[in-house]
Structure 1
Amino acid sequence: MTPEREYDGIIIGAGQHGLILGSYLARAGLKVLLLERRLGYGGGLSTEERTLPGFYHNLHSINHFSISSTPWFRDLGLSAKLRYITPRYEFAQPHSDGSALVFSRDLDETAANIARFSVKDAETFREWNVKAEEMTSRIFLKERFAEPLSEADRASVLGQSMLGSEFLELTRKQPLDAVNELFENEYVKVLFLFKLSLFGTVLHETLNSGSPVGSLIRAFDLTTGYELAEGGSWNLARSLMETFIAAGGEFRNQAHVERIVVDGGRVTGVSLAGGTELKARFVASTVDVHQTFAQMVGADHLPADVAARVEGHKHTPWTLFGLHLALNEPPRYAAAAFDPAVDRALKYNVGSETIESLLKAHDEVEAKRVPTNAQFGAGALSVLDPSQAPPGRHTAYAWQVVPYDIGGDPDAIDDARAGLQESILAKWRTYAPNMTPDNILGSYTYTAKEYTRELINMRYGDIFMGALTSDQVMYNHFGYRTAIDGLYMAGSACHPNGAITGGAGYIGASVIAADLGVKPWWTPTDARAELSDLA
């Protein structure tokens, strides 16, 4: 078949990584085609009116970790297209006894809040905060946007400084052990574990294993944290697409890649469903491992060790039950009498007050059961960003962790849906009494059954497209170069893995430019140089 057109590069998937990768390479003068199976673009950067007109709900990504400080946000000039809101209060945890623990961006304020529960814990936090802030800025964030060093090289470079050595030691600690060793108050322990985890339920892979990433320090820093894209998360996708098109990139939607064409061990392009063939010097996939290698490439073109790794790629053992609400007024927590700031936080831990309850929830999810005790991450974004709801009205969300296949059946979520919604709302009312039926104007539940149909790369409901275990992160990640010449990976299976980071697209651009002999117009982040400066 005669190819329709030829390109320097074809990028599969118009999510965050594909848009960032395409923007860098198009601006470098390459002829780049970005392909997207769906009608729209943005992947997990999704903001939609699913309850009532004018109420904007972020169905996937909500809280973006320090995005406005990333190198790609700066390089691509995105501040001219998008504003990020940095809330003063990042985390809040209301308690059934009427108290609340709130973390501020301010050290003195946070320490004072902790001291209301334990003076000793407040002093411990102050001591660790000093180390954590330096480790975050000088190590964690630098490695986040650089091609990882090998395990041996990294240990050698970090081991040359006191700060690096302390960081390496911290990566070997299990978060649950560390929190139990350092703190005495149960409320303090639980909020620290929530800060390290996601969505209000801390699972065993977070609690009981160290991580070479060093994410444990995130329990202690305050300066670097989560931000909110004004108007909704999709505005980041919009800004990136505008940047890609302005740089000369070409976007084609409703273009499902059926096959990555390999000839003589080298990629020559892609074939779309329907038979259209597109030629390119390189192909970069930003979709999941299984779809890329098992479906698009095919086992016949893979070395045995790569095929085995694809087959053994692990996924997170949980999925999300999302409840999105249109409200007359935002949740008003009873604990506001204890600390008024509890009503103005970005992220909430609702219903998890003991480590025992967290462990029980994990055991139930692992046994393919819905947790009997509703405990969830929550937020009311319109309090911080009024543009996400009509004037005087509000939105809120709750994310409860559930199994992908309750009782072994992926369709069982339909029978559990109404009961889950009511258990979440009933639990929410025990902390925020105004979360009554007359305050709720509309509701929408969004589960793995829906989002795996819309975003097929979230296989088994895995929003990260790969479990964040130590054998799949940092120097063990699935990218960027592959065993097939001309084929690259630059998605969430690559360092720095899932969630909205943009890191894989940013790092992948430097890798591809170097292989093609293209001089980068940007200054790539060099892990060895950055970490060597610690000495």
Structure 2
Amino acid sequence: MKDTFDAIIIGGGHNGQILSGYLTKAGLETVVLERRMEPGGGLCTEEVTIPGFYHNVHAFFLRWIPDLPFFKDLELGRFGIEMKMPEVQTVAPFRDGRCLVMYKDVEKTIQNIAYFSKKDAATYRDLLKRFQLMNEKIITPEGYSPPLPAAEKKALLEKSELGREYLAISKKTPIELAKEFFETEQMRSMIIFVVTTRMYLANEPGLGYHVPAAMTGGHRGTMCLGGSHYLAHGLSKVIESHGGRVWEVSPVRAIIIEGGKAKGVILDDGRRIYARKCVASSADVPQTFLELVGEDKLPKDVVEKAKKFKFSKLVLFSAHLALHEPLRYKSASFNPDINIGFNYNVGLESMADFEAHLREIDEGVPPKKPGMQCAVPTLHDPTQAPTGKHTAFLWQFAPYNLKNGGPEAWDKVKNDYMEVCLERWRQYAPNCNSKNIIAKYAFSPLDVERKLINMRGGDHCVGAATFDQMLENRPCAGLKPYRTPIEGLYLCGSGSHPFGNCTGAPGYNAASAICEDLKIKKWWNTHNLGELWSKLR
């Protein structure tokens, strides 16, 4: 078996594979080493209920994917990847029988908002126009570039009206902005829903800029036809078509460091794989520094920062269902489109509901009155279930560390808590019942951690989105973006800027850093934030 490559990438999640895709197209011979039997990390689709029903156990709502740089640059469409953007995007049923429906079509969305408040409808139209420009010129380019130092960023953005608005918004919490912008609880809760379901804390100061990002992305949610794992397999095909390799069942035990340089890796079975040019890790930050490298090979300050790296308290409990028929909502009498929605907010009807959830999670208690993100994927892709049948799932915010019994207690309570969540769903969709449910599967935050070891504490985004761990401080202050104190060792996972979710940005940005350091010409176009922001008006 071959034992030497130009670049070794640890972890075959989407970021590791995206990095490999860029490097192989740049002419490097790469190998991706994946611990599990299937690459993709959170991009996994499995038969967890009964055979023939395919469930997207982690990632499903793949926002903006067709518009993202990696999808275009790596030409994933040529490798059989098809993304679908449903017409009815995010919906929220209410106990009073009404529902709020957000469409791909912005005008239809505004008309629906006007049922609740003409003022909120007008505000939404105005904000969306400004926020689309803000997202295009500031937020997205920043995500697909190394972050600038805060002082330099502030100086550039203060020169333009758009930049000043961004800076003002960024200082606030998403909850503060939702209350400031909108008068109805329906719109406030919808805005906070689309922020928090991207795993950002709605009460965290300094994260207000996620409101513009979430609002603009709220009309462009996509899913991968065939299941989320198809996207992962498409990335593998890209790599292999350019001469790279993806090795499954190849867990890494250690990174080989010689003379202060990364020289390769040791696999669990003792095999050594060597790197001519670099090693990149998409593993979480503590795992990379403290376990794979070792404390004795790192500066003390980096060791301390790795030990203090925080994982999110806001994690997910989920349940996956095999169904005879899709769920039917009481609110369909108000707007029948709710029955064909893509992304459902079920049970979070007010700011008070969100605030109660956050308090309970801080206390280590699964919310007693669930408020869930739900979907019926087969409404939009019938191939994910047997003919005429359906799949559905719910995601419920929950604590990893339970007040009564700690994380291990999830094994005892997860099935009971699934029933609590299903009863809540049934209040809105009466056929979420035993007659319709063929099989069901509970998946706790502890199960998440066991399945994907990067997601410590069940954290899907591999590192908390707190102000002190975002932008130039991600993964920690003082590290040059995507580099490490070890020469030739890079970071390319969700613990790096900008964050988790399926954006591909950490892998994309790491590719730029590696090519710059190795003096390899980048074959793709990149942003220069200084130039871009200096031209804003």
Shorter-chain TM-score above 0.5: yes
Residue 534 of structure 1 aligns with which residue? Answer: 536
CA contact (8 A) 1:157 1:531 kept: yes
Query: Is 1:491 equivalent to 2:493 in the alignment?
Result: yes
Alignment partner, residue 290 of structure 2: 294
- The letter of the residue matching 2:485 is A
Distance 2:234 2:514 in 1: 23
**Is the CA contact 1:171–1:216 (under 8 Å) kept in the aligned structure 2?**
no
Verify the 8 A CA contact 1:464 1:497 in the aligned structure 2. yes
In structure 2, do the counterparts of structure 1 residues 223 and 450 end up closer, same or farther at CA, with 3 Å as the change threshold? closer
Aligned to 2:7: 9
Within 5 Å, which residues of 2 pair with 1:303-342?
303-342=299-338
Give 1:16 shift: 0.2
Measured against aligned partners, the alpha-carbon deviations of 1:428-449 in whole angstroms (never above 9, x if no partner) come to 1111111121101111111222
Moved more, 283-292 or 28-37: 28-37
Distance 1:254 1:61, change over 3 A: same
Residue in structure 1 matched with residue 368 of structure 2 by the alignment: 372
Q: Is the 8 A contact 1:44 1:60 kept in 2?
A: yes
1:26 — aligned with what? 24
Q: Distance in 1 between matches of 2:136 and 2:104?
A: 15
Quick check: 2:13–2:41 contact (8 Å CA) kept in 1? yes
Match in the other structure for 1:75: 73
Contact 1:66–1:224 (CA under 8 A) maintained in structure 2: no
- In the alignment, the residues of structure 1 paired with residue 225 and residue 321 of structure 2 have an alpha-carbon distance, to the nearest angstrom, of 18
What residue is the counterpart of 1:426 in the other structure?
423
Amino acid at match of 1:462: D
Asked if the contact 1:107/1:222 (under 8 Å) is kept, the reply is: no
Aligned twin of 1:444 = 441
Q: Where do 1:98-247 residues align within 5 Å?
A: 98-198=97-197, 205-211=201-207, 214-221=209-216, 225-247=220-242
CA 1:512/1:125 → structure 2, altered by over 3 Å: closer, same or farther? Answer: same
1:473 aligns with 2:470: yes
Letter paired with 1:413: W
Deviation at 1:107, TM superposition (A): 2.5
Alpha-carbon RMSD = 1.7
Deviation at 1:464, TM superposition (A): 0.8
Would the aligned equivalents of 1:133 and 1:222 in 2 still touch at CA under 8 Å? no
Structure 2 CA distance for partners of 1:252 and 1:324, relative to 1, 3 Å: same
The corresponding residue for 1:514 is 516
Give the equivalent residue in structure 1 for 2:432.
Answer: 435
Question: When the two structures are superposed, what TM-score results if normalisation uses the length of structure 2?
Answer: 0.95
More off after superposition, 519-528 vs 248-257: 519-528
Q: What does the per-residue CA deviation read over 1:153-206, in whole Å, with 9 as the maximum and x for residues that have no partner? A: 21122222211221121111221112112222111211111011118xx88x32
Cα distance in 2 for residues equivalent to 1:27 and 1:182:
45
How many residue pairs match? The answer is 529
The secondary structure found in structure 1 opposite 2:435 is helix
1:285 to 273, 281, 286: 281
Q: Deviations over 1:247-297 (max 9, x none)?
A: 100222222211111122211111122322222121100110111001001
Residue pair 1:4, 1:276 contacting (<8 A) in 2 also: no
Distance in 2, matches of 1:401 and 1:61, equals 15
Q: Report the AA paired with residue 459 of structure 2.
A: D
- The residue aligned with 1:258 is 253
How far has the Cα of 1:418 moved from its partner? 2.4
**CA-CA distance at 1:338 after TM superposition:** 0.2
- What SS is found at the alignment partner of 1:221? helix
Choose the corresponding residue for 2:64, options 63, 66, 80: 66
The 1-side partners of 2:308 and 2:55 are apart by: 35
Secondary structure of the 1:283 match is strand
Note if contact 1:171-1:211 (Cα within 8 Å) is conserved in structure 2: yes
CA distance in 2, matches of 1:150, 1:411: 41
Cα distance, 1:509–1:219 mapped onto 2, change above 3 Å: closer
CA distance in 1, matches of 2:204, 2:507: 30
Equivalent-residue separation in structure 1 for 2:213 and 2:338 (angstroms): 21
Quick one: distance in 1 between partners of 2:20 and 2:204?
A: 38
Q: Is the 8 A contact 1:125 1:220 kept in 2?
A: no
Counterpart Cα distance in 2 of 1:300 and 1:8: 26
Shift of 1:125: 1.2
Shift of 1:210: 2.3
The amino acid of 2:358's aligned partner reads H
Residue identity (%)? 38
SS in structure 2 of the partner of residue 97 of structure 1: coil
1:105 and 1:222 in contact (8 A); partners too: no
Q: Against the structure 1 CA distance between its residues 262 and 222, is the aligned structure 2 distance closer, same or farther, given a 3 Å change threshold?
A: closer
- How far, CA to CA, are the matches of 2:179 and 2:285 in structure 1? 36
Distance 1:303 1:86 in 2: 47
What letter matches 2:138 in structure 1? Answer: I
Question: 1:222 deviation in Å?
Answer: 5.9
Q: Which runs of 5+ in 1 are unaligned?
A: none
Distance apart, 1:528 and its partner CA: 2.4
**Which residue identity lines up with residue 107 of structure 2 in the other structure?**
D
